Amino acid sequence: MAKDPRPFSSKLEVPEALTFDDVLLRPKESRVEPDDADTATRVSTNVELNVPVLSAAMDTVTEAELAIEMARLGGIGVLHRNMTVEETAEQVERVKRADELVIRDVVTASPGQTVREVDEMMGREGVSGAPVVDEDGTVLGIISGTDIRPYLEVSDRDEVRDAMTSEVITAPEGVTAREALELMYEHKIERVPIVDEDERLVGLVTMQGILARREYDAAARDEEGALRVGVAVGPFEADRAQAADEADADVLFIDCAHAHNRNVVDSARTIKEEVDADVVVGNVGTREAAEAVVDFADGVKVGIGPGSICTTRVVTGAGMPQITAVSEVADVAGPEGVPVIADGGIRYSGDAIKAVAAGADAVMLGSYFAGTKEAPGRVITMNGKRYKQYRGMGSVGAMQSGGGDRYLKEEQEDEEFVPEGVEAATPYKGPLESELHQLVGGMQSGMGYVGAATIPEFKQRSEFVRVSSAGQTEGHPHDVVITDEAPNYKPNE
């Protein structure tokens, strides 16, 4: 038969792009036990974490409650931006105040208040004791629940000055947790006011606060000891960037579905010049996009359409399978020393560690955390099973409550949004701690199979093999009926 004389179109000479299921880590000789694998990493120029994991900036994933728990456990939460600028600042402050050694926003009593007023105030503020200060802030005494119990024959109409303990043990600014604890044991007290040279109140250290901090030895903390937090900022939201920065956010994440856009890059560069916080730019998915931002960004976030609730690829026809996207970006950012974050599409711990092998320094997950107790929203029950809502930030519902600028869409009153995400439900999973434990434990085991004791070593030592579809099938449980659910595996639907 004669050959077709027409040449193939050069348009069809296309490169192949791979994602998680297309590859596996090649096992290597190892001396590394999984528990000894050190997962410490950097998410941005100045922010190091013990756990290389971020929770997604989505309104069904990260608000202050989840961000506090993420940071306590060594990762970092990125607050979503479907809220007012003032709310963003408040949420950052909530995280920053959560496990502070020295509480700055101290609830105080004045000597002339009645015992009843102070008792009510302490109930309202959720504290069990308060320093008593005069108008200058000088500490005169301390009053706690035990000072005002009726059996002490204190009337609720008595003044605080008659009921308080006036021999107060105070400490100066700069006191360490150990010193404060020693004072507390020695004097059998639970709180120590921190005072300046003139005995004026500047803060308070509590026993409860010290014990909470001890529990979290891998926590992500800033130089002052407060928990770290990230904030999503729209590509043109200078006001939110400013407010988050003033509230001491550690990292701002320029939150755009396609950051390789000249206006977005210019605006991100300006934001970077105006804030103290690190600025991570995303999302990108190609080498060229990385080249456009590495000269000023403190980190690059990768992911064009891999997310579980994303419809970007089917709606727009554009996207980049995630393993290829991460490795292209890492080829550019890595040598420049700019951390890379792989965002979206991670279903299992194995996906997360494959993303690191492709060149990521850390991974960001949405669906994995949306079902946890600490994620926003309430638990719903359907057919006897418990779920929480999970929706794409490009879904109709999320865009209605926040706008479409992540997708570079103008808000128009009489026009329907063209969504790039769906609204869904995800099984309720309970506390974040056990989910994160499974994720990080699986990643450490992956490091063990490759024989790498640290993330930088793993990035260098790991190699991929390409997997056929038969190989993929072989990799999941097969020829059996699963009788007990594993905590880290759900069958592909």
Examine residue 421 and tell whether it contacts ligand XMP (CB under 6 A): yes
* DSSP string covering 290-354: HHHHTTT-SEEEE-SS-STTB-HHHHHS----HHHHHHHHHHHHHHHT--EEEES---SHHHHHH
By CB under 6 A, residue 392 contacts ligand XMP: yes
394 makes contact with ligand XMP (CB under 6 A):
yes
Asked if 247 touches ligand XMP (CB under 6 A), the answer is no
Q: Confirm whether 406 is a catalytic residue.
A: yes
Q: Is 361 in the site for ligand XMP (CB under 6 A)?
A: no
Judged by CB under 6 A, which of 193, 305, 371, 446 binds ligand XMP?
305
Exposure b/e, 323-361, CB count within 10 A at least 16 = b = bbbbbbbbebbbeeebbbbbbbbbbbbbbbbbbbbbbbb
321 touching ligand XMP, by CB under 6 A: no
Among 68, 92, 310, 352, binds ligand XMP (CB under 6 A): 310
User: Minimum distance from CB of 247 to ligand XMP (Å)?
Assistant: 22
Active site residue 310: yes
In three-state secondary structure terms, 428 is coil
Shortest separation between residue 344's beta carbon and ligand XMP, angstroms: 4
Question: Under rule CB under 6 A, which residues in 32-61 are in contact with ligand XMP?
Answer: 56, 58
| Residue 393 in contact with ligand XMP, rule: CB under 6 A | yes
Task: Compute the distance between CA of residue 221 and CA of residue 42 in angstroms, rounded to an integer.
Answer: 13
Q: What are phi and psi of 291, to 5 degrees?
A: -60, -30
Residue number with CB closer to ligand XMP (76 or 204) = 76
* C-alpha span between 448 and 86 (Å, rounded): 45
Instruction: Give the strand pairing for 385-391 and 380-382.
Output: antiparallel
Of 3-11, 195-203, 386-394, 472-480, which segment contacts ligand XMP by CB under 6 A? 386-394
The answer to whether 325 contacts ligand XMP (rule: CB under 6 A) is no
- From the candidates 72, 310, 391, 461, which is the catalytic residue? 310
Given 307, 334, 350, 448, the residue binding ligand XMP (CB under 6 A): 307
For residue 160, count other CB atoms closer than 10 A to its CB: 23
Q: How far apart are CA 50 and CA 275, in angstroms?
A: 25
Question: What does the alpha-carbon distance between residue 182 and residue 401 come to, in Å, rounded to a whole number?
Answer: 50
The residues binding ligand XMP (CB under 6 A) are 56, 58, 257, 283, 303, 305, 307-310, 312, 343-346, 364-368, 392-395, 420-421
**Residues annotated as catalytic (active site), given as ranges:** 310, 406
